[in-house]
Structure 1
Amino acid sequence: MPLKTTFDQADCPKPQTRGYVVLTYDLHFVLLMNTFPEGVDVTLECPNGFVKDSGSGVITCVDDNWTKPDLTCKKKDCGLPTFLPNMSFNTSAGTLLGAVIKVICDKGFQVSGSSFKQCYALGWVGKAKCEIVTCEIPVKLTNGKSSWDSRDEPMYGEIIQYMCEDGYTLIGKNSAKCSETGEYDSPPPACEGVTAKAISTTEMVTPTPKPPAQDSSATPTALRDKTVRTSTTAAVSPSVGGGRDNLTAEGRATTSVPSMTSSSFQDKHDGAVNTNQDVGHMPVIISVICVIAVCIMALFLHKFLLKRKGSANGTAPIY
């Protein structure tokens, strides 16, 4: 339909848009028009950040009124952002125009840049990346060292080993791990020297071996020693003749036996019997036995003679 050339005879006012719809014009001069002639067509469109959902968007001036618009618009969907290494998103607020999502990094990584992204007409706005967590360079140990020899900071998951110099003891854990918080999972240890007090304490508590217990039962040698001493006492009794001679013989017998040295005597334990004394007492025992035997024989001989004498005289012997 051709446009009317006389604009004062226009029948339709300028269209009023509502919602997410704006007016567009096919001709440049229409931009300056406030009224539109009968039969003129204009086009409606979706604003920036919205997309056409349905309808053509064309309306026509008919009988001083515009036809009902059929255009519907909806918000632009930005979709999911581009995933970067070790990164994910919390999209609980959606991905449509104006939505804000949170950037999430994997364990051991932290956000560098913006922690949020927002959906605009041009797409997601907000730059971010996930960088690995680092810990401070390990401190230097006094009288010790660590396994870290780089100028760079240890990264998440790396383990530091600690060692002490010779003569020093490590107090604490011998390793520390860089955690996801940027801190070590344990404090650095210390190297302490071994003190003289610790050494003396160790020596004092060392058990001392005890000497073997002495057997309470008498040994055969000890019993023999007691027998010898008893026999010796009987030999010097005044009631037996020849005691002086026996003592003299004992002295000679004792002198003839080599005596034990003082060193041998010191080697003896308490309760041991001197073998020199046993050898020296043997002649005494033999002498005593001989004296007793001679006395018995003399007694029997005396009685025998008395018996014969009594028989000769015709009298009975007196016992």
Structure 2
Amino acid sequence: MFYSNSWTKCLIYLIFITRGNSECPKPQVERNQNVVLTNDALLKNDFPEGSEVLFQCTNGYMKAQGSESITCTSGEWSTLELICKKKDCGAPKEMPHLTYEFDKEGTLFGASARAICDKGYQIQGSSYRQCYATGWSGRSRCEGYTLIGNKSIECEEDGEYNSFLPECKDVNDLPLKPTTISASMTTSTVAPTIQDVNDIPLKPTSASITSTVPPTIQVSGRHHGIGEHDINAATRNAAAVGSVIVIVIVIVTLVLVVYCFQKRKGSYQTGEDTRRKEELLQFQND
């Protein structure tokens, strides 16, 4: 009886010691928990008593509550308390004339959204966008047309419409509006008023003029008190002045030619009498 009790106590003691020094198996988690072991925990092969491993949320999920660690105690792992939830991408960026239609997931991870354009606009880019861990995929925008002209026109008694037919134009093809310039900054380009033909500056004429066409005078006098009669008179006077200048130049040219010819031939006006001059000319010819 004594031996029996002693053996029983020894067996209980050995079982307690063995169980206290036992290792834990590699931790396992259920897929629906949306958690995974960290890289450090995955690289371990042995998990002795007191070992601690860490978990993290899977891609697209974030921690909601609980601890990320479990501990090995008497060959068993403690209960994992980490709870992960889906990330929220939030509403896509607002764009003109563009709205989104979301599925049952709304804006959470894995959700999809369909891009819808207002009437008269067409979708450019992605028709559907997906909520990923990094945010919404793709880009969407709406481009449309604008009405150029009147919305309504009428046929008049003469059989013609009272306005041009309207057109639909792409807003990106429309030219930019001209910049409005203040009246105080506007530079006038109106030609100066000519009161007298003598005030008209004429270009200098060179000696080798080959054309006798009078200079053209452009006068903008309709808005400055000068009528067509004054303009015609100014033109005739200018033509007369041009003709006089040409005649003077021709006369001067002839004088220069005669002078040069006489100088080249030579002059024998030496002051002697005519008879002596004839003797000198005869001597020169001999």
What's the TM-score, normalizing by structure 1? 0.40
What's the TM-score, normalizing by structure 2? 0.44
